[in-house]
Chain A
Amino acid sequence: DAMVIQNPRYQVTQFGKPVTLSCSQTLNHNVMYWYQQKSSQAPKLLFHYYDKDFNNEADTPDNFQSRRPNTSFCFLDIRSPGLGDAAMYLCATSRDRLGSSEQYFGPGTRLTVT
């Protein structure tokens, strides 16, 4: 049974055309994360929500935004995708932000920018 669901699994967008990726969870976790993973690289945290509190990583470009309208859903908005934004985008959740708290990952959305 899927616990962290990402739609779509594959997304193609044009250079500069806004795109939204979606994530939902059935775990009722407080924290939701978005990671970017480029080919042969480690997943890189973009930002996370702790409940309704948005926390941006210092080096995340302004081009990337996020919304969390309720506990279950979180969206990643890329305002003006560039070729360098082509990557796998991973959504994850955790019960809290403690160091011991396990993160649960969705299957990812592979974004292609043409």
Chain B
Amino acid sequence: AQSVSQHNHHVILSEAASLELGCNYSYGGTVNLFWYVQYPGQHLQLLLKYFSGDPLVKGIKGFEAEFIKSKFSFNLRKPSVQWSDTAEYFCAVKHSGAGSYQLTFGKGTKLSVIP
């Protein structure tokens, strides 16, 4: 069974600091990778996704993630965080292909940005 590890449970940063959230997955085949964000009191929203092609993926609100196949990693980055980025971030993975509906999530990383 595939699994997803997010190593940081809670990250606290000052505004304008750079962000990198780690994500590793265990599945050895072709995967589709996602980062979701959940702002306080709101629903999970897709931040970005990787299916194929350029391993550096750009998402909304200045976020990007890099797929490194050899490391089974899909780390999320942002050069300069804002207070409004305070949220919980979830990495998730799906197999590629038909019938591969199961979205496996990591436990999430809470990001607190201090003004």
| A binding-site residues for B, Cβ under 8 Å | 4, 31, 33, 40-43, 45, 48, 50, 55, 90, 92, 94, 97-108
Q: Is the CB of B96 within 8 A of A40?
A: no
Chain A residues within an 8 Å CB radius of B107: 40-42
| B binding-site residues for A, Cβ under 8 Å | 4, 9, 30-32, 34, 36, 41-46, 49, 51, 90, 94-108
Chain B residues within an 8 Å CB radius of A101: 101
Assuming the contacts A97-B99, A99-B100, asked whether A108 and B108 have C-beta atoms less than 8 A apart, the reply is no
Q: Nearest residue in A to B110 (C-beta to C-beta)?
A: A40
Q: Is the CB of B90 within 8 A of A100?
A: no
Q: Nearest residue in B to A43 (C-beta to C-beta)?
A: B105
A73 to chain B, nearest CB (A): 18
B84 to chain A, nearest CB (A): 19
Chain A residues within an 8 Å CB radius of B100: 97-99
Chain B residues within an 8 Å CB radius of A31: 101
| Count of chain A to chain B residue pairs whose CB atoms are closer than 8 Å in the complex | 63
Q: Is the CB of A100 within 8 A of B51?
A: yes
A65 to chain B, nearest CB (A): 19
Most buried by A among B49, B97, B99, B101: B101
Chain B residues within an 8 Å CB radius of A103: 103
Sample (11) of A-B pairs whose CB atoms are under 8 Å apart: A40-B108, A43-B105, A48-B101, A97-B98, A98-B100, A99-B94, A99-B97, A104-B46, A106-B43, A107-B42, A107-B43
